[in-house]
A and B are shown apart, each in its own frame.
With several copies, the nearest count.
Chain A
Amino acid sequence: MKSKETALDAALNQVKDGMTIMIGGFLGQNAPLACIDRLVERGVKDLTLITAVNAYVGGGFGMGKLIENKQIKKYIGSHIGTCPAAVEQYKSGELEVEYYPQGTVIEKIRAGGAGLGGVLTPVGIGTLMEEGKQKVVIDGKEYLVETAIKADVAIIRGYKADKVGNILYRGTPNSNPVMALAADYVIAEVDYVVEPGEIAPDRVGTPGILVDAVVLGYGEEKTQEIFKNLWVRDKKLA
């Protein structure tokens, strides 16, 4: 058995200028913060970013830094409003934005990972979402054809991984398990790496066969501290 545990930089070597990447997390929560921070330092650029929503409100945190640092050429997701830099760059023409309803984003990713050409959704019928898309009628009802998307690299956030890449999630897994299906190279940032067998088979949220590299992130203690400080700063906690 070859261990998939990989040094952060060795894994991030897979992310090259111009690539399409997926990043898990929801407004930065359960997002791969250590990988993102290091990507900012590494300065890889012209990336297309696929994500469910966007950065934590106000910027300066998580994937907001990638956008502030102008490493993202194109954003594919459901919302940019939480990230002031994204809004500014979109207005100025520096950032291309491709919107999909959040439920559609995750289905497009799932379709990409599951070998489907796409899904038929009623969401978006009668709206701008129809533009340039095929429609299919089933029993007299119209559906949009929403095609599959994939990425070169997906960076996801788990809690524990074993050395063969099985991932256990903690809290809300959000988009992470689906993104693990849909990229050529999947990096899982976790707090703990354990031996195979230490995660019970029915506690595995992402099978190890989908994961290419397991990297240690900031760890549990620092993660708790990061969010406590963030939430206290923003008066969500007192």
Chain B
Amino acid sequence: MNARELIARRAAQEFKDGFVMNLGFGIPVLAASYIPEGVNVILQAENGIFEFEAVTKVGEQDAYIADAACQPTKILPGGCTVDLAMSFAIIRGGHVDATVLGALEVDQEGNIANWALPAGPGKWMPGMGGAMDLLVGAKKVICTLQHTNKKGESKILKKCALPLSAAKAVDLIITELAVMEVTPQGLVLKEVAPGVAVDEVKAVTEADLIVPDSVPEMVL
């Protein structure tokens, strides 16, 4: 199982029956493939759909219905469409139970940076899209990301260096090595990936990790 799949499988366990959820692109969408049996969530596409699924077969598409990635989409029974103001009123207003999204960096206070890469002096890209609204509005924020960057440096920091998407917003961090929870006391190591030792996690984590006496392995 590669890192992406592992993160996605673990993230899927955070999907609770009846939850309204908004999933970022990449690993979060992948997580939807691993939702546990008997758990039904209502997915939101922030362009204004509730309850939908991608269509991938020619002939099933409708040019007038696509999700927030412009993937042709089918609205499921019980689903509906709303305009963009309503879609974000619902997001910002606390009506989304959980969001799962990626990050460039996340820190032990729950700060998160996920939209701003340097593009020149005072310039940033690619833009936040709907992420900042989701981080502030969703009842639970689950951040999925690889534990380290390509250079092997920790993306789980004491303090984010890149411009923040939101301050103190993240509740749970899931990487290919560990599950960590942001608490008032600090960042708590909740689970390690199968076969990964606590010290291995600590070695690649810049953040101060609070390590309980016993840290269970993820059950995937």
Contacts and interface: CB of A to CB of B under 8 A. Distances in A.
Contacts of A226: 63
Contacts of A208: 50, 78, 80
A41 B33 CA distance: 44
A79 B167 contact: no
A2 interface: yes
Nearest to B163: A128
B78 A196 contact: yes
B48 A170 contact: no
A238 B92 contact: no
A123 B88 CA distance: 11
Interface string A159-188: 100111010001111111110011000000
A171 B127 contact: no
Contact of A29 (B18, B50, B66): B66
B193 interface: no
B48 A87 contact: no
Contact of A78 (B63, B93, B129, B136): B129
Interface stretch (A14-22, A64-72, A98-106): A98-106
Contacts of B91: 103, 115
Contacts of B57: 237-238
B94 interface: yes
Interface string A119-160: 001111111110000000000000000000000000000010
B90 A209 contact: yes
A110 B80 contact: no
Contacts of B75: 201
Nearest to B136: A123
Given A52-B84, A91-B120, A80 B126 contact: yes
B82 A207 contact: yes
A216 interface: no
Nearest to A235: B56
A81 interface: yes
B83 A176 contact: yes
Interface in A212-238: 223-224, 226-228, 231-232, 236-238
B219 interface: no
Given A104-B133, A174-B47, A204 B81 contact: yes
B125 A106 contact: no
B71 interface: yes
B1 interface: no
A53 B72 CA distance: 17
Interface string B59-71: 0111111101111
B119 A102 contact: no
Interface of A: prevailing SS: loop
Contact of A223 (B63, B72, B83): B63
B179 to A, nearest CB: 25
Contacts of A231: 61, 71-72
Contacts of A30: 64
A175 B84 contact: yes
Contacts of A32: none
A27 interface: yes
Nearest to A162: B78
A119 B164 CA distance: 22
B111 to A, nearest CB: 8
Interface of B: 18, 20, 40, 42, 45-50, 55-58, 60-66, 68-72, 75, 77-86, 88-95, 111, 116, 119-120, 123-133, 136-137, 163-168
Given A79-B129, A236-B71, 14 more contacts: A26-B66, A27-B68, A52-B84, A80-B125, A80-B127, A91-B120, A101-B132, A103-B130, A172-B45, A178-B85, A207-B50, A209-B42, A231-B61, A238-B58
21 contacts: A54-B127, A57-B70, A79-B127, A81-B125, A99-B124, A99-B128, A102-B133, A115-B89, A127-B132, A128-B164, A166-B80, A181-B89, A182-B93, A195-B77, A197-B78, A201-B79, A209-B20, A209-B42, A209-B90, A227-B72, A237-B60
Interface of A: 1-2, 26-30, 52-54, 56-57, 77-82, 87, 90-91, 93, 97, 99, 101-104, 106-107, 110, 112-116, 121-129, 159, 162-164, 166, 170-178, 181-182, 195-197, 199, 201-202, 204-205, 207-210, 223-224, 226-228, 231-232, 236-238
